[in-house]
Amino acid sequence: MAEPATVSRNVTLDSRDEAVLLFGPRDANLRLVRDTLGVRLVARGDTIQIDGSEEAVAQTERVFAQLRSVLRNQNKITPEDVRTILEVVRAGSERGAASGLAILDGGRYLRPRTDGQGRYVQAMRENDLTICVGPAGTGKTFLAVAMAVTLLRQGAVKRLVLARPAVEAGEKLGFLPGDIAAKVNPYLRPLFDSLNDMMEPETVRRYLDNDVIEILPLAFMRGRTLNNAVIILDEAQNATIPQMKMFLTRMGFGSKVIVTGDITQNDLPKTVKSGLIDAIQRLKNIDRLAIVHLGEGDIVRHPLVQQIVLAYEDDPLRKKA
């Protein structure tokens, strides 16, 4: 049987400084990538030459793309970051039951569709608190709810609690008809939509009636301690710093907390700092806590969504603000 053909590709970095951080102390990160994927790596200045089989080289390019994304977001790379990204990329499109989320009817698995989503799912599995930040369409909320439903069905937790800040994005709550429940329902609707994608509507209603699943505005969580639960805060960029502290301290024994948000979609007054941005800065060095950044490459909605996100990011008026 013929040996697979060897290919060679180059990855060009932005600077020598990026190369130093990416390679790690005494090139430890490069050696880990080389030994895991079975490729030959030659580093020259700000360029990495990759030699190996077509598949191994392609995987290595994906690993370096993910590592560079992590470096841009947190200004450092840890050995754990490298190991996690290697595991996710090696799983690739062949992800099976171990990395999928068994939440759909009929025993079907919902699998991460990008390397970034794979890191997100793995972070939720391995940590008690996961913060995920990314633009619209990257699956932040959907995968968080999927993880929660999976743990509920496995018996790992007894209940799900899903919360959102009731912050206006243009319209005022007072202009909506009905009592307070009717007024906050539009803010909670996306969470209902995610649940209904994963379970029969009758099951969702039964769980809601029995308080197995609870969906509520963030302000309603004050004074509670939640044990053996998955607790999700969605649209967390609209939580204030005191609200974020209040939410994070609801965690009880046997619980997981997942916080999702998009820091570019902040609807708080300009004078109020987002609790999500504050939490990322304040909590980044705490153990058993993961901060995952998703990007435009992780958008899995209609292809136009990725282009729309990029168009708004390139808005010159936004850059001047």
Q: How many CB atoms lie within 10 A of CB 16?
A: 9
- Report which residue type is found at 198: M
Which residue in 147, 140, 149 sits closest to 207, CA to CA? 149
- Report which residue type is found at 105: D
Cα(80)–Cα(69) distance, rounded to whole angstroms?
15
- Give the residues across from 205 on adjacent strands: none
Q: What is the pLDDT of residues 18-57, one digit of tens each?
A: 999 999 898 999 999 999 999 999 988 888 999 999 989 9
* Mean pLDDT over the full length of the chain: 83
**What is the rounded average pLDDT of the residues 172-182?**
52
Q: Grade residue 83 by pLDDT with cuts at 50, 70 and 90.
A: confident
Cα(24)–Cα(22) distance, rounded to whole angstroms?
6
Q: What is the pLDDT of residues 148-170, one digit of tens each?
A: 998 998 899 999 999 988 765 44
What pLDDT score does 212 carry?
93
Burial class (CB in 10 A: 0-12, 13-18, 19+), 154: exposed
- Given a contact cutoff of 8 angstroms between Cβ atoms, the answer to whether 10 and 41 are in contact is no
Residues 6+ apart with CB under 8 A from 193: none
Whether residue 314 is predicted with pLDDT greater than 70 in this model: the reply is no
Residues 6+ apart with CB under 8 A from 211: 159
Q: CA dist 180 to 22, 174, 175, 184, Å?
A: 51, 9, 12, 6
Report DSSP letters for 121-166, one per residue: HHHHHH-SEEEEE--TTS-HHHHHHHHHHHHHHTTS-SEEEEEE--
What pLDDT score does 227 carry?
95
- Burial call 50-67: b when 16+ CB within 10 Å, e when fewer: bebbeebbbbbbbbbbbb
**What is the maximal distance between C-alpha atoms in the chain?**
73
**What is the rounded average pLDDT of the residues 244-270?**
93
Top-confidence residue, 96 or 58: 58
Whether residue 298 is predicted with pLDDT greater than 90 in this model: the reply is no
What pLDDT score does 115 carry?
86
- Report which residue type is found at 73: N
Residue whose token pair is 């060095």: 285
Whether residue 217 is predicted with pLDDT greater than 70 in this model: the reply is yes
